[in-house]
Amino acid sequence: MKIAILIPVIRGFSGGILTYLNAIIPRIQLYTEVTKLSIVVPQIFAKDFCHLEVDIHTVSPFDYLFGFRGMGKFVSSNSFDIALSLTARKINNITCPIVTMAQNVEPFHKPSYPTPFFYKLRLTLLKKEYTIACQQASFIIAVSNYMKTVLRQSIEIPDGKVEVIYNGYDANDHRKPKKPNHPIPELFFFSSGSFSWYRGFEDIVQATAVIKSKHGKAPIIAISGQNSYGVYAYKKKLDKLIKSMDVVENILWLGQLDQNEMTWCYQNSIAFIQTSRVESFSNTQVEAMGISKLCISSDYPLMKEIFKNNAIFYSAGDYRTLAQAMIFASGNSSKKDSTKKKKMNDRALKYSWDVTADKTLKLLRSAILSNNGNTSVT
C-alpha cells in the first residue's frame, strides 16, 4: 500500500498535526503492507517535518491558489494507492481515493462568543471548503463522536462515510518533565491552547479577579500557547482585560512549550483548566487525565465526551462558577485518592495511538477496496 499524507495548509498549521504525525508515522511504518509513505506539504512548512523518518515532497507555497493541484498531480503521477488529507480541503488533479480528516468544528457553529466581522467571514469560507472536501472524500475521519454528529447535521453525507477515530495518548511521552524557563511559583493553575476567539481564556482572567476581590489575593495562572494566524486581536483583548481587572501579576504567559515542559506543568499545577467554547478533540484534556491531574472544564459537549465524569465542569462564560471551582481545587488538589487517580489514568489510556493507527489503516484499506469495487475489509 502506497500512502500519501497531505497537509494542504495555507498560512500555518496547529501543533496537533505535528503531535498526530509524530505518533502515527512510526506506527504505520510497522505494517508490512505499507510499502511507501510520503508527506506532501507546501515548501515553506517542510522544515517542521524534517525530523520524521519519512519521504517529504514539497509543493509551491501558492499551490492553494490552484486548488492544491500540485499535491494532486504528485500523488497521481507517483501512483499512490490512497491519500490521507489532514486538513479538509479539496485536492485537484488527484486520481486515487482520498480520506479526509475533519478536525475543525468551529466553522459549523454560530459563535456564542464575540468575533470580528472578518473572522466570521473566514469561518463562512471554511465551512464551504469543508463541505466541498467532505463531498470529494471517499471516507471522512471524525476525531470525535461530537465532530461526526455536527458533520452529519451540517453536510449531506451518506451513511457509513464518516468514521470516528480518536487521537491517542502515550504515557511514554510524559516521562521526562522539564520546568519551563519562566518564574513559575510553587502553586499555580495551568491552561493551554492557541490564542483564538473560541478559547475562552477571558473566563480565567475574570475568575481570577473575582477570587482576588473576595480574598485579597489570587493564584498564578500559567498559560501556554501562541497566536493563531489572523487573531492577534484576541491576545490584545485579553491583555486589556487583564489590566482592567488588575490581575497583571497573576497571569503568566509561557509561550509555546514542548512536550516535556507541558508535562512538568501538568504534574506541578494545582489543576488544569480547559475553557474552550469549541473543540473537535482536545489532546491536552487527555494528557492531563493521563497524568491524573485535577481538571476544570467548560461544559461544552466535546469536553464531556472526552472527560466523562473526570473533571469539574462549569458553564462556559460563567466565570463566577469557575472561580468557585478554582477555590475548591486549591483546597483539594493533593487529596485525590488512588482510586480516582487510576480512573483518570484508565480513561486517558482508552485513547491509544496504536488503536488510532490500526483504525486509520483499516479505513485507508477500505477506501482502496471500495474504489476497486470490492467493499470487504480485513
Global pTM reads 0.90
Q: Which amino acid is at 255?
A: G
pLDDT digits (tens, 9 = 90+) for 291-334: 888 999 999 999 999 999 899 999 999 999 999 999 999 887 65
Please give the pLDDT value at position 81: 96
Confidence of residue 154 (pLDDT cuts 50, 70, 90): very high
Task: Say if 2-168+352-371 and 172-349 have the same CATH topology.
Answer: yes
**Residue 372 pLDDT exceeds 80:** no
Confidence of residue 377 (pLDDT cuts 50, 70, 90): very low
SS (H, E, C) the chain: CEEEEECCCCCCCCHHHHHHHHHHHHHHCCCCCCCEEEEEEEHHHHHHHCCCCCEEEEECCCHHHHCCHHHHHHHHHCCCCEEEECCCCCCCCCCCCEEEEECCCHHHCCCCCCCCHHHHHHHHHHHHHHHHHHHHCCEEEECCHHHHHHHHHHCCCCCCCEEECCCCECHHHHCCCCCCCCCCCCCEEEEECCECCCCCHHHHHHHHHHHHHHHCCCCEEEEECCECCCCHHHHHHHHHHHHHCCCHHHEEEEECCCHHHHHHHHHHCCCEEECCCCCCCCHHHHHHHHCCCCEEEECCHHHHHHHCCCCEEECCCCHHHHHHHHHHHHHHCCCCCHHHHHHHHHHHHCCEHHHHHHHHHHHHHHHHHHHCCCCCCC
What are the CB-based long-range contacts (under 8 Å, 24+) for 340-347? Answer: 340/292, 341/292, 342/292, 343/310, 344/289, 344/290, 344/292, 344/293, 344/310, 345/289, 345/290, 345/292, 347/289, 347/307, 347/308, 347/310
Please give the pLDDT value at position 228: 65
CATH code of 2-168+352-371, in short, is: 3.40.50.2000
**Residue 65 pLDDT exceeds 70:** yes
Q: Find where cell 477570587 sits.
A: 211
Q: Find where cell 492531563 sits.
A: 288
The whole-chain average pLDDT of the chain stands at 91
- Compute the half-sphere exposure of residue 36: CA atoms within 13 Å on the CB side of its CA: 16
Please give the pLDDT value at position 376: 37
pLDDT digits (tens, 9 = 90+) for 195-250: 888 999 999 999 999 999 999 999 999 999 876 655 678 889 999 999 999 999 99
Least confident of 6-15, 17-26, 225-234, 311-320: 225-234
**Residue 336 pLDDT exceeds 70:** no
Residue 345, C-beta contacts closer than 8 angstroms, at least 6 positions apart: 289, 290, 292
**Residue 270 pLDDT exceeds 60:** yes
Residues 86-90 have a mean pLDDT of 94
Instruction: Count CB-CB contacts under 10 A for residue 188.
Output: 17
Least confident of 18-32, 127-141, 326-340: 326-340
**Residue 374 pLDDT exceeds 60:** no
Is residue 318 within 8 A of residue 373, CB to CB? The reply is no
Is residue 114 within 8 A of residue 202, CB to CB? The reply is no
Please give the pLDDT value at position 111: 81
The domain made up of 172-349 has a fold known as Rossmann fold (3.40.50)
Please give the pLDDT value at position 370: 87
pLDDT digits (tens, 9 = 90+) for 179-188: 999 999 999 9
Residues 67-77 have a mean pLDDT of 95
Share of the chain above pLDDT 90, in %: 71
Please give the pLDDT value at position 208: 97
Please give the pLDDT value at position 202: 96
Least confident of 70-84, 85-99, 165-179, 364-378: 364-378
Domain segments of the chain as ranges:
2-168+352-371, 172-349
- Compute the half-sphere exposure of residue 197: CA atoms within 13 Å on the CB side of its CA: 20
Residues 74-90 have a mean pLDDT of 95
